[in-house]
Amino acid sequence: KLYEDVSDLPGLHYDFVIAGGGTAGNVVANRLSENQHVSVLVLEAGPSNIGVLESEVPFLSTQMFLDPTYSWNYTTTPIPGFNGRSVLYNRAFILGGCSAHNGMVYTRGAAADFDRYAELSGDARWSWNQLFPYFLKAEKWSPPADQHDTRGQFNPHVHGTNGPISVSLNGFALPFFEGKIIQTTKELPADFPFNLDPNSGNELGVSWVQSTIGGGERSTSATGYFAPKFIQRQNLHVLLHAQVSKLVNATQKKGKPTFGGVEFRYGESFFVAHAAKEIVLSGGVIGSPQILMNSGIGAHSTLSALGIPTILDLPSVGQNASDQPLLILQWALNATSTPTDIVTFDSLRQNATRFAEGLTQWNASRTGPFVDSGDATHLGWARLPRGSPAFGVHADPAAGPDAPHLEFSFVPGGQTPGNSLSIFVVVVSPVSRGSVVINSSDPFAPPLINPGYFSNEWDLLAMRDGISLAERFVSAPAWRGFLGAMTPNLANLSSADLETTIRNTAAPNLHMVGTAGMSARGARYGVVDPDLQVKGAVGLSVIDASVVPIVPAGHTQAVTYAFAERGSDLLKQRWGL
Ligand SMILES: Cc1cc2nc3c(=O)[nH]c(=O)nc-3n(C[C@H](O)[C@H](O)[C@H](O)COP(=O)(O)OP(=O)(O)OC[C@H]3O[C@@H](n4cnc5c(N)ncnc54)[C@H](O)[C@@H]3O)c2cc1C
């Protein structure tokens, strides 16, 4: 049941208390409460997702993630690799977490990413083959909103059909634009081969985009894992507007710290929720390390400087933040929309009447252009050229020889008047690392977020290669005669000026992981063991994107769902449920 008011909550004693009702937290709450003898409380700081139109309508996703009402409104520290710029670092403040405001792109990463997690953690159960069933468990492959023939656009054998999260291909056709992308794969097959399905473990090539959308609506951990048939469970309670400050009532069990309660603020008052079995932190890459540090779990030097007594000296808490830098390249498109072939989504975004018509159509029938995010129609994944200067400054950071270094999102639309093609170039296998560290004893003060972009030269050199590859893509005959001015205009820039442009215009890809990273049992670094329990503590787990040790060569929500599904099974096994 969903509770808006703490005074309606029947009590504060549960078997499991989950801090954060986001992408991962709701999975864990659902799976644990499958057993009716187990009681579960979720504490979510944000409001309900129900009736939030910006979240439901895929095309409004940009509005949604820029809406300060549903955001923690974090800003990074000045990032040296971004020429000292501080930038917005979005994290969702709503039930469903980032799954309720993200770009909905559904990618799993390369098989080698997971085999590397297995190696790092010393636990083969995190390998691609063994995690694969959990991707399927979370997923419900669904027809696109326009019911078009999807043969040749994905591989049904690598998708799940019974999970709570809908995944589908785009449901509004852009024949001109999509045709040119596919034509490019035929004209430049060496660099950009067509790949039937990038979620098979082999991402390389260009594929049709898959998104967490079903029936024309965004699918989230809240709409899926807390669908009416689940949220009505008597043993599942979700309290909204409840911000966790820290873990309290620390005692020792078998010589290790354990916590009797989770302190949270509701309005101006503080409460403590008690977990008889286990506390699970699912506050995400910023929230989870923050709660750990507030509770005295972190680097002793950081904690003591803030006057927080150290309960567990774990220097890796908040470190090892791994995220991808993004650069947007844009070209004007010399093509005009017809009533049956809209060239790009610009014609909707730049025309209030057509925009309103699109929303009306979505409201009436869940069809039309608003059923898609309005971002990529296709994604491309590539490796750097073998002779890239990047390999001169650092060993190949990709997880394996078939794992990509770069992602290209081919987006029908841009930021300037008229139709545009945008290519989002992303370095998906960065070497750079950053951190999320508290700098106040006030548990609600925003932490210092430093994603560390371009702190290693490799990432910058990779971005240069990415730009060259994007320029190669649009050099295909398919685009001849259709392309106008490029923004930013990189033509004839000196090497130094190109570097300045990259540093001045790159942005966060918002795929941070690793701030409560998993490592092998007994390792001298890391925050959680391969069973996702906090090292050196008893009765405390972290289950969310922060435990993923290195950012996968992909987007992170599918990985978060799979880790949360597997994490739920680990909890069930531990407690014999
Ligand atoms: C704008 C944006 C776009 C993105 N686009 C994509 C995309 O297209 N595809 C993709 O795969 N990935 C995308 N991502 C990344 C992906 O969504 C995240 O990696 C993933 O959803 C993280 O899940 P999580 O469970 O770790 O954290 P979250 O989903 O952030 O959940 C954390 C939850 O905990 C709550 N919380 C935090 N602190 C506290 C506290 N102290 N007390 C109580 N509650 C708390 C938060 O409000 C939130 O609900 C995007 C991310 C963003 C921000």
Nearest atom in ligand 1 to the alpha carbon of residue 512 is 19
Structure confidence at residue 273 (pLDDT): 98
In a mutational test of the pocket of ligand 1, which residue from 69, 557, 568 has the highest number of ligand atoms less than 8 Å from its CB? Answer: 557
Burial 116-136, CB ≥16 within 10 A → b, else e: bbbebbebebbbbeebbebbb
pLDDT tens digits along 32-60: 999 999 999 999 999 999 999 999 999 99
ipTM of this complex prediction, to 2 decimal places:
0.99
Q: What is the pTM of this model?
A: 0.98
DSSP 67-97: -GGGB--EEPPPBGGGTTB--EE--B-STTG
Nearest atom in ligand 1 to the alpha carbon of residue 555 is 11
Q: Is 545 in the pocket of ligand 1 (CB under 6 A)?
A: yes
Q: Is 244 in the pocket of ligand 1 (CB under 6 A)?
A: yes
Q: Percent of the chain having pLDDT more than 70?
A: 100
- Mean pLDDT, residues 294-315: 98
- Residue type at 408 in one-letter notation: F
Q: How much distance in Å is there from the Cα of 114 to the middle of ligand 1?
A: 21
Contacts with 298 (C-beta within 8 Å, 6 or more apart), sequence order: 289, 292, 310, 312, 313, 314, 315, 317, 318, 438
Residue 336 confidence class, pLDDT cut points 50, 70, 90: confident
Cα separation, 335 vs 343, in Å, equals: 7
Binding residue positions: 102-105, 244
Residue 9 confidence class, pLDDT cut points 50, 70, 90: very high
Query: Is the pLDDT score of 491 beyond 90?
Result: no
Residue 492 confidence class, pLDDT cut points 50, 70, 90: confident
pLDDT tens digits along 135-158: 999 999 999 999 999 999 999 999
Structure confidence at residue 152 (pLDDT): 98
**Tokens representing 471?**
């320029």
3-state secondary structure of 314: coil
Cα separation, 194 vs 205, in Å, equals: 5
How far, in Å, are 190, 219, 463 from residue 364 at the CA level? 44, 19, 43
Q: How much distance in Å is there from the Cα of 455 to the middle of ligand 1?
A: 24
How many helices (H) does the chain have, and how many strands (E)? 16, 26
3-state secondary structure of 338: strand
**End-to-end alpha carbon distance in the chain:** 21
Strand intervals (E) in 180-324: 205-208, 210-211, 213-214, 217-218, 236-239, 242-253, 256-266, 269-281, 297-298, 312-313
| H or E segment to which residue 407 belongs | strand 406-412
In a mutational test of the pocket of ligand 1, which residue from 30, 44, 98 has the highest number of ligand atoms less than 8 Å from its CB? Answer: 98
Cα separation, 61 vs 59, in Å, equals: 6
Cα separation, 544 vs 559, in Å, equals: 9
Q: Is 323 in the pocket of ligand 1 (CB under 6 A)?
A: no
Nearest atom in ligand 1 to the alpha carbon of residue 545 is 26
Is the CB of residue 346 less than 8 Å from the CB of residue 484?
Answer: no
Binding residue positions for FAD: 102-105, 244
Nearest atom in ligand 1 to the alpha carbon of residue 72 is 47
Please confirm, yes or no, whether 241 is among the known catalytic residues: no
- Residue type at 193 in one-letter notation: P
Cα separation, 505 vs 325, in Å, equals: 10
Q: Is 165 in the pocket of ligand 1 (CB under 6 A)?
A: no
Q: Is 443 in the pocket of ligand 1 (CB under 6 A)?
A: no
Nearest to 504 by CA among 466, 472, 554, 460: 460
- Domains detected in the chain: 2-47+223-321+514-574 (3.50.50.60), 53-219+324-432+449-508 (3.30.560.10)
In a mutational test of the pocket of ligand 1, which residue from 26, 59, 102 has the highest number of ligand atoms less than 8 Å from its CB? Answer: 102
Q: How much distance in Å is there from the Cα of 187 to the middle of ligand 1?
A: 38
The distance from CA 366 to its chain's CA centroid, rounded to whole angstroms, is: 25
pLDDT tens digits along 417-462: 999 999 999 999 999 999 999 999 999 999 999 999 999 999 999 9
Cα separation, 452 vs 433, in Å, equals: 5
Cα separation, 569 vs 290, in Å, equals: 25
Structure confidence at residue 567 (pLDDT): 98
Q: Is 476 in the pocket of ligand 1 (CB under 6 A)?
A: no
Cα separation, 505 vs 489, in Å, equals: 12
Q: How much distance in Å is there from the Cα of 534 to the middle of ligand 1?
A: 20
How far, in Å, are 145, 146, 275, 338, 502 from residue 359 at the CA level? 15, 16, 45, 19, 36
Cα separation, 469 vs 497, in Å, equals: 19
Contacts with 294 (C-beta within 8 Å, 6 or more apart), sequence order: 245, 246, 308, 438, 443
How far, in Å, are 6, 116, 488 from residue 120 at the CA level? 41, 6, 40
Residue 337 confidence class, pLDDT cut points 50, 70, 90: confident
pLDDT tens digits along 379-411: 999 999 999 999 999 999 999 999 999 999 999
Please confirm, yes or no, whether 555 is among the known catalytic residues: yes
Q: Is 514 in the pocket of ligand 1 (CB under 6 A)?
A: no
Neighbouring-strand partners of residue 379: 207, 409
Contacts with 62 (C-beta within 8 Å, 6 or more apart), sequence order: 374
Q: How much distance in Å is there from the Cα of 509 to the middle of ligand 1?
A: 13
Cα separation, 304 vs 200, in Å, equals: 47
Q: Determine which residue's CA is closest to atom 47 belonging to ligand 1.
A: 93
Q: How much distance in Å is there from the Cα of 24 to the middle of ligand 1?
A: 8
